[in-house]
Amino acid sequence: MKITITGPNGSGKSTLLQVIAGAIVISEGMVRYAGSDPAPAESSSCDIPPEQAYRNLSLSAPYLDLIEEMSAMEFLKFHHAFKPIMPSLSIPDALAAVGLAGAANKQIRFFSSGMKQRLKLAQALFSDTAVILLDEPCTNLDAEGVALYQQLIRQYGEGRLVIVSSNDPQEYDFCEKTINILEYK
């Protein structure tokens, strides 16, 4: 399933994604994490403890920092020590898929803003998670980067829950459902 969350600037779209990701503690309400039971004979739902939810989701957002002293290769190796990469990919494959193979050993601090966004997308899309949270995923991307993003979503978003926070149709035109956050405030 692919869902987009729309609404005006300041309406809480990014905050909602951070709450879902467990990056912000909420003062009201609750968040429940559930997944499919991995037992092959069953297809029932099971609760996931909140402290384990991060293993099942990945987040890409323009406001998330990268470790700029690391190279792109070091950063993805570090990240994937905590959250495995998809079994069909290697880290060099992931960097090549986002057009960063030539910059694999370059320190991130020397990356352009578009290169940094591509690395953030690689970190999120290529993590072996059931849920992908994308907050304004095309920020700092040129037309070629936007086309790459759309191709990556088609290729790596299948069979996963993708939630996109955006007001830009080119970032979410593939989504099956749109939620206007103002309808829930």
**CATH number of the 2-184 domain:** 3.40.50.300
Residues paired with 3 in a beta bridge: 163, 177
Q: Which residues of the chain have pLDDT under 50?
A: 39, 41
Residue 42: per-residue pLDDT: 52
Residue 44: per-residue pLDDT: 55
Strands 33-36 and 45-48, how do they pair?
antiparallel
Domain edges within the chain: 2-184
Residue 135: per-residue pLDDT: 96
Note the pTM of the prediction, 2 decimals.
Answer: 0.88
Task: Strand 131-135: give its sheet, edge to edge.
Answer: 57-60, 131-135, 161-165, 2-6, 177-180
Rounded Cα distance, 88 and 61, in Å: 24
Q: What's the token pair of residue 42?
A: 């069953």
> How many helices (DSSP H) and strands (DSSP E) are in the chain?
6, 7
